[in-house]
Amino acid sequence: MPLPHEGVHVRLGISDIHGIGVFAIRAIPKGTNIFENDRGEIAWVETSALATVPLTPAEQDFYFDFGIHKGEVVGCPSNFNHLTPGWYLNRPRPGEQANVKADGHFNFTASRDIEEREELTIDYGTFSGGPRAPDGSTPSSV
């Protein structure tokens, strides 16, 4: 049986980009499936269903901050207590290229060699339409 650290490439840390970030604990070669062992399922929630439920501002923030927005649905963990490191990837700084990409099945791979201790970043626009409030507007916090 493998030990719990085997196959783990990252850990959470304080980001210079924004809040919490994801950092390489070892060099990650280009093409590596970074979260291959993450077994968390994505739950797809209809935005119309969210609009009918009274959500506190903190609950709304879960969907705005972590949601994968695809038209009329939002992808999120099956329970927000199950947020794994992949949900914490930040956007790259302006003018920088992301070092992680996502495919159509939300497998996150290194788009180039990533150095140990380097923050992992991704272009959200490559897999998410961006968060929207129930009225269709873009939240000001994003």
DSSP characters for 59-82? HHHHHHHH-EEETTEEEEESSGGG
For the chain of 142 residues, list the mean pLDDT of each consecutive stretch of 10. 90 96 98 91 93 93 91 93 94 96 92 98 84 45 36
For residue 102, the model assigns a pLDDT of 93
For residue 109, the model assigns a pLDDT of 97
Contact criterion met (CB below 8 Å) for 17 and 46: no
Contact criterion met (CB below 8 Å) for 117 and 24: yes
Ordered by where they begin, the domains of the chain are 1-38+84-126 (2.170.270.10), 40-83 (no CATH)
The predicted model scores a pTM of 0.85
For residue 137, the model assigns a pLDDT of 45
What are 95-121's pLDDT values in tens digits?
999 999 999 888 999 999 999 999 999
Question: How many angstroms from the chain centroid is the CA of residue 133?
Answer: 19
Could you give the CA distance from residue 20 to residue 11 in angstroms, rounded to a whole number?
A: 10
For residue 1, the model assigns a pLDDT of 84
Task: Kindly report the length of the chain.
Answer: 142
